[in-house]
Structure 1
Amino acid sequence: MAIIDPNSGAPLTNPDDVSSPSGQSVDPADYIVDIDMSNFQQVVLEGSMQTPVLLDCWAPWCEPCKNLMPVLEKLAKEYQGAFVLAKLNIEEHQQIAAQLGIRSVPDVKLIMQGQLYDQFQGALPESQIREWLSQYIQAPGDAPASPEEQAQAALDAGDATTARSIYQQLVQENPTHYDYQVALASATLADGEADKARNLLDSLPPEHRDSPQAKGVRARIEFGEEAPDREELDELEGRNDSEAIYKRALRHVADGDYETGLDALLSLMQTDRAYGDDAARKTLLRVFDALGADHPLTVTYRRKLFAMLY
Structure 2
Amino acid sequence: MSIIDPRTGEALTAPIESDDAASAQASPESAPTGGDVRREDVIIDLDASNIQQVLEASMQVPVLLDCWAPWCEPCKNLMPVLEKLAVEYAGAFLLAKLDVEANPEISGQLGVRSVPDVKLVSQGGLVDSFQGALPEKEIREWLGRYFQAPADAPPSPEEQAEESLKAGDAATAREIYQTLTSQYPEHYAYQVSLANALVAEGRSDEAHSVLDNLPPEERDAAPARGVRASITFGEQALSHDEIAALGERDDSEAQFQRALRHVADGDYETGLEALLALMKSDRAYGDDAARKTLLQVFDALGADHPLTVAYRRKLFALLY
TM-score range, shorter chain: 0.3 to 0.5
TM-score by length of 2: 0.46
TM-score by length of 1: 0.48
